[in-house]
Amino acid sequence: MEFRHLGRSGLKISEITYGNWLTHGSQVENDAAIACVRAALDAGITTFDTADVYANTAAETVLGQALKGERRESLEIMTKVYFPTGPKGPNDSGLSRKHVAESIEGSLRRLGTDHVDVYQAHRYDTATPLEETMQAFADVVRSGKALYVGVSEWTAEQIRAGHALARQLGFQLVSNQPQYSALWRVIEGEVVPASRELGVSQVVWSPIAQGVLTGKYRPGAEPPAGSRATDDKGGRQMISRWMRDEVLERVQKLRGVAAELDLSMSQLAVAWVLQNDNVATAIIGASRPEQVTENVKAAGVVIPPELMARVDEVLGDVVERDPGMTARNAPAGRPS
């Protein structure tokens, strides 16, 4: 396993992060989920990402159980706040001082720890003044309940504003957690340049594009049984944008690139995002331990420039690059 600094901070995290977004507490039974976490630890992964909203808090509980007994100082645990949890009352979502203060307490209880390493704003809250939100995060840091603060899917303008307030309040905004893959490159135009300037790293999710970049989905063929594209609990919806023959045909052509590097398709996809020097870590998920074991081999891989150029050539215009997609995909208002 290789390690990288998170933003302009002294914290190092593993190049591969284990995340439990669509699995723990919903799609995968607890025993299987715990086995995946054990596989991650065995593979050298020390960084784990979750959120209070995942499986309506159940994912945090499962992760806490899976990590119980591990040396806390040897782990980096990241969680998030914003989306509705619990009974979904008027203050059960967003980034108000009330919701942030109460949510960190719930997350720590479920995770079985007295602090998280990175506490992240899961989205930007248009219904709360940014000053209130950043003051709430400053208080969480000063109380020792979080060591660092990050955001997720914020625009370049929002990151700049949040970073400036954090500095005024005496803490660091160290990371942004966006979707990023060889197919989804919307952060490259604005978010990455701003983040480089400010000393903010990307903690990227969905590096294999919800499984499409594994090559298991073939053009003109039914999705494999049990795959995400057949899942009615959220997986099918998330993957639908890529389930077009023109995309699947281009992805199949990446097999030659993977073969030249002696990588599997999923390893190529994860290694590809790690070539971006503003990316600190790639989040992988798994429903089976062997998936963790395979994908972790992407750590430390160097893809030569000529093969990076070939990936661009192969995928061509099916790649989404519009930087405006970050704002367009954001919640229009505080969810309830």
- Specify which residues 252 forms β-bridges with: none
Domain membership flag for residue 301: yes
How many structural domains are present in the chain?
1
Residues 269, 314 contacting (CB under 8 angstroms):
no
Residues of the chain with pLDDT under 50: 25
Rounded CA-CA distance 232/50 in Å is 21
Domain membership flag for residue 130: yes
Residues 165, 127 contacting (CB under 8 angstroms):
no
Rounded CA-CA distance 145/127 in Å is 25
Rounded CA-CA distance 63/286 in Å is 13
- Specify which residues 48 forms β-bridges with: 18, 77
What confidence score (pLDDT) does residue 312 get? Answer: 97
Domain membership flag for residue 226: yes
What confidence score (pLDDT) does residue 222 get? Answer: 72
- Specify which residues 49 forms β-bridges with: 19, 78
Which residue, 74, 54, 62, is CA-closest to 30? 62
Q: What is the identity of the amino acid at 96?
A: S
Domain that holds residue 78: 3-328
Domain membership flag for residue 308: yes
Rounded CA-CA distance 206/283 in Å is 7
What confidence score (pLDDT) does residue 55 get? Answer: 86
CATH classification at residue 271: 3.20.20.100
Which residues, 6+ apart, have CB-to-CB distance to 283 below 8 Å? 17, 18, 19, 21, 49, 177, 203, 204, 205, 206, 207
Biggest CA pair distance of the chain: 55
What confidence score (pLDDT) does residue 119 get? Answer: 98
C-alpha to C-alpha distances, 60 to 55, 165, 312, nearest whole angstrom: 9, 29, 37
What confidence score (pLDDT) does residue 334 get? Answer: 80
Residues 177, 17 contacting (CB under 8 angstroms):
no
Domain membership flag for residue 104: yes
Domain membership flag for residue 246: yes
Q: Which residue has the tokens 């990371």?
A: 175
Mean pLDDT of the chain: 92
What confidence score (pLDDT) does residue 33 get? Answer: 82
C-alpha to C-alpha distances, 8 to 159, 192, 258, nearest whole angstrom: 14, 14, 32
Catalytic residue among 18, 54, 148, 180: 54
Which residue, 194, 130, 195, is CA-closest to 166? 130
Domain membership flag for residue 189: yes
Cα angle 273-201-162, degrees, rounded to a multiple of 5: 135
Domain membership flag for residue 333: no
Residues 260, 307 contacting (CB under 8 angstroms):
yes
18: annotated active-site residue: no
